[in-house]
């Protein structure tokens, strides 16, 4: 049982690390491979787009074809995709590798929880879940820090490539252990999987993101405008599909639940804004303050520590006691921290030091941690037990898709305004983040007052 837990933690750790390493590595990768700002925008977005779209069906595919089979497929595919990304000769191959990483990760991650739920006793399951927070927190912090140190070390002259190639070792170990210890299950071929719905969701997000990135980089010609229009058309078809499909990805009753949809909107805005903020801070610290990748990772370390500290405080009972009030507190702290960073950038420009940024960045992290650990739990406060699975899966997907959208949108603002100086670009991007977070505050009042007695993760 403990070996299975270790295996599941390894899989989740790989996802957490690879979703954050490009926050620090993006400028170095773009400088080495070319591709400029387009590559920087797509590095994180491609991973999160594929992860978010396929998460909605990943669990169902495990139910249908067997969780062990899908876990092995996901781990093997993630490992091969990491090799493709690490050995990529040009930006196109690298982005293809990142998309494949996200896709196989979406097949891998849901299986671990399902296997544990099926094979662990209740007492052991409680102990296991207690280990997830600390270890995944370490992975969250470790991704950017690891990227910074690996790039500066320039192992074997490979520069940024080992941040992906290290997965060959970790994934190989995981695959060998999984083959040996995971229990066999055949799955249920009668389980319904809404492939059409997932495909339309993919078309929606790809059209919107491609149009946004291409339009903000090369101008709003017919191509980007057409991509956005195609994305909106796919969204309309997706919404219709959810109303008419016999087993939809998102149950229509959820979208009629005011508390849930409000939480969905708040989560979408918060994850988009904060992910974009982290990306912009990394770009500003490296390009504007001329920090090395390792220096940038250490400058952003207080943010990760703030996330971990406040997330643990929330899990310690604050969510149950305060409910949506804790969401207000988290948003207020994010606004305070981001406003503090903005004031420092305006006052000092590119003469700002990483040490001066550290306290403000820590405050931003504290607010992010409170929001991350609270918004979606509270959003589940008014749903029925029969809707919990669909709701939880939808929220997890929204988290990934919002992160992809936010990193693309906010970095687009940064590059579009960089002609006025990198300090000006950072300041404008921070104003956009502040506005987006502030707009969510009134929506919180529509969320349920309390999280469910036993939150569905």
DSSP string computed for 121-143: -HHHHHHHHHHHHHHHHHHHHHH
pLDDT recorded at residue 452: 67
pLDDT recorded at residue 456: 42
Find out whether 383 and 391 touch, Cβ atoms under 8 Å: yes
Per the prediction, the chain carries an average pLDDT of 86
CB atoms within 10 A of CB 176: 11
**Does residue 168 share a domain with residue 209?**
no
**Does residue 52 share a domain with residue 129?**
yes
Burial (Cβ within 10 Å: 0-12, 13-18, ≥19) of residue 84: middle
Taking the C-alpha atoms of residue 62 and residue 254, their distance in angstroms, rounded to an integer, is: 23
**Does residue 103 share a domain with residue 225?**
no
Find out whether 316 and 378 touch, Cβ atoms under 8 Å: no
**Does residue 200 share a domain with residue 184?**
no
**Does residue 372 share a domain with residue 274?**
yes
Q: Which helix (H) or strand (E) holds 87?
A: none
Average confidence (pLDDT) over 319-344: 92
**Does residue 307 share a domain with residue 280?**
yes
Domain boundary residue among 192, 215, 232? 192
Of how many residues is the chain composed? 457
Tell me the pLDDT tens digit for each residue of 406-440. 888 888 899 889 889 999 999 999 999 999 999 99
The residue among 272, 273, 304, 363 whose CA lies nearest residue 17 is 304
Q: Which domain holds residue 322?
A: 251-457
Domain boundary residue among 173, 192, 211? 192
Tell me the pLDDT tens digit for each residue of 53-67. 888 788 888 888 888
Taking the C-alpha atoms of residue 294 and residue 277, their distance in angstroms, rounded to an integer, is: 19
**Does residue 201 share a domain with residue 305?**
no
The residue among 387, 121, 148 whose CA lies nearest residue 254 is 387
The residue among 393, 383, 364, 392 whose CA lies nearest residue 447 is 383
The first and second tokens of residue 326, run together, are 């804790």
Taking the C-alpha atoms of residue 99 and residue 17, their distance in angstroms, rounded to an integer, is: 15
| Percent of residues, the chain, with pLDDT higher than 90 | 35
pLDDT recorded at residue 73: 95
Beta strands in 301-387 (DSSP E): none
The first and second tokens of residue 441, run together, are 């505050």
**Does residue 34 share a domain with residue 110?**
yes
**Does residue 165 share a domain with residue 24?**
yes
DSSP 98-119: HHHHHHHHHHHHHHHHHHHHHH
- Top pLDDT among 198 and 342 is at 342
**Does residue 269 share a domain with residue 228?**
no
pLDDT of 360 above 80: yes
Domain CATH for 44: 1.20.1250.20
Query: Considering its fold, how many domains does the chain have in total?
Result: 3
Buried b / exposed e across 425-451, counting CB within 10 Å, b at 16+? bbbbbbebbbebbeebeebbeebbebb
Average confidence (pLDDT) over 279-291: 91
Taking the C-alpha atoms of residue 29 and residue 161, their distance in angstroms, rounded to an integer, is: 9
**Does residue 137 share a domain with residue 148?**
yes
Of 152-166, 265-279, 293-307, 312-326, the range with the lowest mean pLDDT is 312-326
pLDDT recorded at residue 387: 67
Find out whether 107 and 54 touch, Cβ atoms under 8 Å: yes
Tell me the pLDDT tens digit for each residue of 90-132. 999 999 999 999 999 999 988 887 787 777 777 776 666 666 6
Domain boundary residue among 220, 246, 272? 246
**Does residue 21 share a domain with residue 10?**
yes
Global pTM reads 0.84
């Amino acid at each position: 049982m403990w070996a299975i837990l270790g295996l599941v933690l390894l899989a989740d750790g790989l996802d957490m690390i690879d979703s954050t390493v490009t926050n620090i590595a993006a400028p170095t990768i773009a400088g080495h491979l070319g591709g400029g700002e387009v590559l920087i925008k797509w590095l994180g977005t491609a991973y999160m787009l594929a992860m978010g779209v396929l998460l909605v069906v990943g669990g169902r595919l495990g139910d249908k074809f067997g969780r062990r089979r899908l876990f092995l497929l996901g781990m093997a595919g993630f490992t091969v995709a990491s090799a493709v990304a690490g050995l990529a000769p040009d930006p196109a191959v690298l982005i293809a590798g990142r998309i494949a990483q996200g896709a196989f990760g979406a097949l891998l991650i849901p299986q671990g929880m399902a296997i544990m739920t099926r094979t662990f006793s209740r007492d052991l399951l409680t102990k296991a879940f207690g280990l997830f927070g600390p270890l995944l927190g370490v992975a969250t912090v470790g991704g950017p820090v690891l990227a910074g140190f690996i790039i500066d070390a320039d192992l074997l002259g490979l520069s940024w490539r080992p941040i992906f190639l290290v997965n060959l070792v970790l994934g190989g170990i995981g695959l060998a252990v999984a083959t040996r210890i995971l229990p066999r299950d055949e799955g249920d071929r009668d389980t319904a999987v809404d492939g059409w719905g997932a495909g339309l969701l993919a078309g929606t997000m790809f059209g919107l993101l491609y149009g946004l990135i291409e339009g903000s980089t090369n101008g709003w010609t017919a191509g980007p405008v057409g991509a956005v229009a195609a994305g909106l058309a796919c969204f309309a078809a997706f919404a219709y599909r959810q109303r008419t499909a016999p087993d939809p990805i998102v149950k229509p009753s959820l979208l009629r639940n005011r508390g849930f949809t409000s939480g969905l909107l708040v989560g979408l805005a918060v994850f988009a804004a904060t992910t974009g903020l982290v990306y912009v801070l990394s770009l500003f610290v490296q390009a504007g303050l001329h920090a090395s990748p390792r220096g940038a990772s250490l400058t952003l370390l207080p943010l990760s520590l703030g996330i971990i500290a406040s997330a643990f405080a929330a899990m310690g009972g604050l969510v149950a006691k305060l409910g949506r009030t804790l969401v207000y507190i988290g948003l207020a702290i994010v606004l305070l921290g981001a406003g503090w960073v903005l004031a420092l950038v305006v006052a000092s420009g590119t003469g700002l030091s990483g040490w001066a940024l550290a306290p403000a960045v820590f405050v931003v992290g504290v607010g992010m941690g409170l929001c991350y650990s609270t918004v979606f739990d509270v959003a589940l406060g008014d749903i029925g037990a029969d809707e919990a699975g669909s709701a939880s899966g939808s929220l997890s997907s929204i988290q990934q898709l919002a992160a992809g959208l936010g990193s693309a949108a906010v970095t687009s603002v940064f590059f579009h305004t960089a002609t006025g100086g990198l300090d000006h670009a950072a300041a404008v991007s921070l104003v956009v983040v502040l506005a987006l977070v502030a707009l969510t505050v009134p929506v919180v009042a529509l969320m349920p007052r309390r999280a469910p007695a036993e939150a569905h993760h």
